[in-house]
């Protein structure tokens, strides 16, 4: 798993190739394309076709129907803002990695009971950020987190320095890639 996972909101499928090229020029070969727009499935499919060297996943997957659409489009991993037993079942059945969102001890225990130990921590800044993750480490040493929501270029290094953080995610990574490399691709 890459240490930085761009949360990628594509509102126009024609922007897909430029965004993926900018991410690669920035040194990032993973993208979580969110199901916040009508063209998410098409953007996933296009990304997989044009950039087979990238790991393309789907984010904001909140139900089994969206999960099936994402996997059908070629998503290689699924991310949810919360834990969904229905999404977990589809991912398990289809052999796709699932990163459910968890922000409280009860949610973390639910995910652990379901067999998941790499969890999205969202929204990180609202639920205590680095302090919360440090506290979780002592009671959930087997869990690794991917914090998103409030993670940015200024605090990513602090998050990544925590032993229970597998990676960080955020839209800032797409903005940075386009700012630094968008004109070159």
Look up 18 and say whether it is catalytic. Answer: no
Rounded Cα–Cα distance for residues 83 and 86 (Å): 9
To which H or E segment does residue 55 belong? strand 55-59
Name the catalytic one among 3, 18, 24, 32: 32
23-68 pLDDT, tens digit each: 999 999 999 999 999 999 999 999 999 999 999 999 999 999 999 9
pLDDT at 184 > cutoff 80: no
Q: Given this model, what pLDDT does residue 182 score?
A: 84
pTM to 2 decimals?
A: 0.96
- Contact present, 135 and 164 (Cβ < 8 Å): no
pLDDT at residue 185 above 60? no
**32 carries an active-site annotation:** yes
Q: What is the pLDDT of residue 183?
A: 77
Angle, to 10 degrees, between the axis of helix 129-139 and the axis of helix 105-113? 50
Q: Which of 3, 21, 120, 156 is catalytic?
A: 120
Cβ atoms within 10 Å, residue 67: 26
pLDDT tens-digit readout, 123-151: 999 999 999 999 999 999 999 999 999 99
Cα-based distances in Å from 32 to 7, 37, 112, 130: 5, 13, 23, 22
Name the average pLDDT for the chain.
97
Question: What residues does each domain of the chain span?
Answer: 4-184
CATH number of the domain at 4-184, please?
3.20.20.70
Q: What percent of the chain has pLDDT over 70?
A: 99
pLDDT value at residue 176: 96
């Amino acid at each position: 798993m890459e240490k930085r996972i761009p949360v990628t909101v594509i509102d126009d499928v024609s922007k897909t190739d430029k965004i993926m090229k900018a991410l690669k020029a920035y040194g990032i070969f993973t993208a979580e394309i969110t199901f916040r727009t009508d063209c998410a499935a098409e953007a996933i499919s296009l990304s997989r076709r044009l950039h087979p060297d990238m790991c393309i996943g789907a984010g904001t997957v909140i139900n089994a129907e969206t999960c099936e659409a994402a996997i059908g489009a070629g998503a290689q991993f699924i991310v949810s803002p919360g834990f969904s037993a229905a999404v977990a079942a589809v991912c398990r059945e289809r052999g796709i990695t699932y990163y459910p969102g968890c922000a409280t001890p009860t949610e973390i225990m639910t995910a652990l009971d379901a067999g998941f130990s790499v969890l999205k921590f969202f929204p990180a800044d609202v639920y205590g950020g680095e302090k919360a993750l440090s506290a979780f480490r002592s009671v959930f040493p087997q869990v690794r987190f991917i914090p998103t929501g409030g993670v940015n270029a200024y605090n990513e290094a602090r998050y990544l320095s925590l032993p229970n953080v597998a990676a960080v995610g955020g839209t800032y990574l797409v903005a940075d890639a386009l700012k630094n490399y968008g004109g070159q691709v």
